[in-house]
Amino acid sequence: MEDKRLTPRKQKILRAIVDAHIHHGEPVGSKYLATDVQISASPATIRNEMADLEAMGYLVQPHTSAGRVPSELGYRFYVDSLVRQYTATRSEIDEINERLRYKLTEMDEILSEVSRLAASFTDYTGIAFKSGVGQVRVNKYDSVYLSAKEFLLVMMLSTGTVKTKTIRLSFPLSQEDLRRITEAANIYLTNLTSDGLSMPVIMKLEALMGASGAIVHPTVKAICETMSEVDTADIKVEGVNKLLKYPEYSDVGELRDLLGVLEEKDRLMDVISTQATEESDGIHVYIGAENASDAMKNTTLIFKDVYIGGKKLSVGVIGPKRMNYSKVIDMINRLAFGIDRMFNEEPGLPEPKDKY
């Protein structure tokens, strides 16, 4: 919601302070701002405006004699209303496209590569997260007879991947029995989520298989295990060492707490999944205390959602509140668009033009 107290001049001063603080990492004073031709006001006027912005909660004065730095409210208004559109260079765009050129097939590979790309292009810690939403289905089954007590089940999943399971039996199985259970699976077990593999469906298959009904249970068990493996939430983090270059993490205790979140997958997945509940086609930006973890009170989390084969993947970065928001937002948008274009025949994301 727009703050009507923020006059155009106050907005220019706030944006100039955030830009300067992001670039230099130091408090910003009125003398520095007086050199900005877009503000065109005396140092005294600028000081009064800065005092108003501080009273309104948009700026903080770290020391009595120092300039001001943005507060979390100041960063939030900057991200929502003031941040300038970052223009990626041709070489940056070409590099993103080149590194996304090879289509990966396994979600684990996708997460690892995407987190590396996010870290590389932004110089912050990259993250890639997939949620377990219970929507994985098997589109087609095939099988290979290995021996009288062993066969290979081949499953073509809705995610676009192919999974296999070697099923070992305690009883003999003929090639004809394997052909029949494979045919029945393609009729009754395709396009079902794990919840759809219910007892009535299993009983129907057992009835169809007759004297060979014992094959149904180990087959369905293998299918459920595969769905669970593919549909489990997972997260990849890359470039944690990049945090060490920022003075915001010079406090050893705070850095240790943050690293604890990043190193423990379950904790970090909880943070992101808690904040990813809101459906949005745009960028998610969480600044400082807006994050769901106290260990991230001096940290900004930015990510965007992409859908691959019906599964949601989130790509983003973690870094200090003093972040180059315009560049990060543009790069995450471009990465998301590139991933969407590569894995989906009809891209659902618009080509990056605007910051949101």
Residue 112: HSE in the Cβ half-sphere, 13 Å Cα cutoff: 6
Residue 202 has pLDDT above 80, yes or no: yes
Region 19-24 average pLDDT? 91
The per-residue pLDDT for 347 is 59
138-231: CATH class:
alpha beta
Region 98-127 average pLDDT? 81
The per-residue pLDDT for 309 is 62
Nearest to 137, CA basis, from 303, 310, 306, 288: 310
Nearest to 114, CA basis, from 265, 353, 338, 310: 338
Give the whole-angstrom CA distance, residue 284 versus residue 128. 14
Superfamily of domain 90-132+233-343: GAF domain (3.30.450.40)
pLDDT tens digits, 235-255: 899 999 999 999 999 889 989
The per-residue pLDDT for 94 is 77
Region 309-322 average pLDDT? 86
Region 22-31 average pLDDT? 89
Confidence band of 132 (pLDDT split at 50, 70, 90): low
The per-residue pLDDT for 310 is 62
Annotation: CATH topology of 8-82: Arc Repressor Mutant, subunit A (1.10.10)
CB environment 261-273: b (16+ within 10 A), e (fewer): bbeeeeebbebbb
Identify the residue with better confidence: 83 or 174: 174
Confidence band of 143 (pLDDT split at 50, 70, 90): very high
Tokens of 216: 């149904």
Question: What ranges do the domains of the chain cover?
Answer: 8-82, 90-132+233-343, 138-231
Sign of CA dihedral 316, 319, 322, 327: negative
E strands within the chain? Answer: 59-60, 69-70, 125-130, 138-147, 150-157, 162-168, 234-238, 284-287, 299-308, 311-320
Domains 8-82 and 90-132+233-343 share a fold: no
The per-residue pLDDT for 354 is 46
Region 57-81 average pLDDT? 88
Confidence band of 264 (pLDDT split at 50, 70, 90): confident
The per-residue pLDDT for 355 is 46
Identify the residue with better confidence: 279 or 327: 327
Mean pLDDT of the chain: 85
